[in-house]
Amino acid sequence: MTEAVGAAAAAAAGARPSQGLQPPPSELRAVCFDWGGTLMADDGPADRPMVDWPKVTVLPGAVELLHGLHGRWRICLATNAAQSSRAQIEAALQRAGLRPWIDEIFCARELGLRKEQPAFWSTVAERLGLRPEQIAMLGDSPEGDVRVPRRCGVAALWFNAGGRQPLPPGEEPLPMVTRLEDFGRWLTGPG
């Protein structure tokens, strides 16, 4: 999707390409990403691990974003993927060419916790040896990727790809980006 088309889709959905963004924490030490729907397309057979899908697709901008951030911060994957073990997640990331840039993987299946549970985020912080305020998160689920981690102290943003997913009426707006590159600019600053 071109920038103009992405911006047009965001405007049509009533969303700006980036909205409600405060600067990232000055003590930021780790950046977490959701897996399906944020870094990779979540469009394969729901009853099979992603590594076994006929085709795995990296979302536009993911490779460039991870490459640009790796080495500045610890890059983590935080996922609720129910069909994939940690080893299968690693294999899918390897197959897609993303594994070299992921330092840590936190999967619900391994932790016995889901991202919608505050204990997931306290476990992530503990295993990273950080405070939640030192972690940023980007994901496409308003609840598990944004609201819950924010309540736990994580600087979480909603990835609303192309601005196509409106929040239900009456829900409080979330800090949001519509393109992965906008998240990178939020982290690193303009220019």
CA-to-CA dists, residue 41 to 15, 28, 107, 127, angstroms? 22, 27, 17, 27
Supply the pTM of this predicted model.
0.87
Q: What is the pLDDT at residue 191?
A: 52
Query: Would you place residue 91 in the very low, low, confident or very high pLDDT band (cuts 50, 70, 90)?
Result: very high
- Structure confidence by residue, pLDDT tens digits, 59-87: 999 999 999 999 999 999 999 998 899 99
Q: What is the pLDDT at residue 21?
A: 76
β-bridge partners, 75: 31
Query: Would you place residue 5 in the very low, low, confident or very high pLDDT band (cuts 50, 70, 90)?
Result: very low
Q: What is the pLDDT at residue 165?
A: 79
**Which alpha helices (DSSP H) does 97-191 contain, by range?**
108-111, 118-128, 148-151, 180-188
- Structure confidence by residue, pLDDT tens digits, 104-124: 999 999 999 999 999 999 999
CA-to-CA dists, residue 189 to 23, 102, 148, angstroms? 8, 22, 25
Q: What is the pLDDT at residue 4?
A: 32
- Structure confidence by residue, pLDDT tens digits, 127-147: 999 999 999 999 999 999 999
CA-to-CA dists, residue 148 to 12, 108, 129, angstroms? 28, 15, 20
CA-to-CA dists, residue 5 to 23, 41, 189, angstroms? 26, 19, 24
Q: What is the pLDDT at residue 100?
A: 96
Using a pLDDT cut of 90, give the percent of the chain over it. 73
Closest by CA position to 150, among listed 171, 129, 136: 136
Average pLDDT score, the chain: 88
Query: Would you place residue 18 in the very low, low, confident or very high pLDDT band (cuts 50, 70, 90)?
Result: low
Q: Give mean pLDDT, residues 79-103.
A: 95
CA-to-CA dists, residue 1 to 11, 160, 185, angstroms? 15, 14, 18
* Structure-model confidence comparison of residues 115 and 173, the more confident one: 115
Phi, psi (degrees; rounded to nearest 5) at 36: -75, 125
- Structure confidence by residue, pLDDT tens digits, 36-54: 999 999 999 988 999 999 9
Query: Would you place residue 9 in the very low, low, confident or very high pLDDT band (cuts 50, 70, 90)?
Result: very low
Angle, vertex CA 24, rays to CA 98 and CA 134, nearest 5: 75
d(CA 105, CA 121): 13
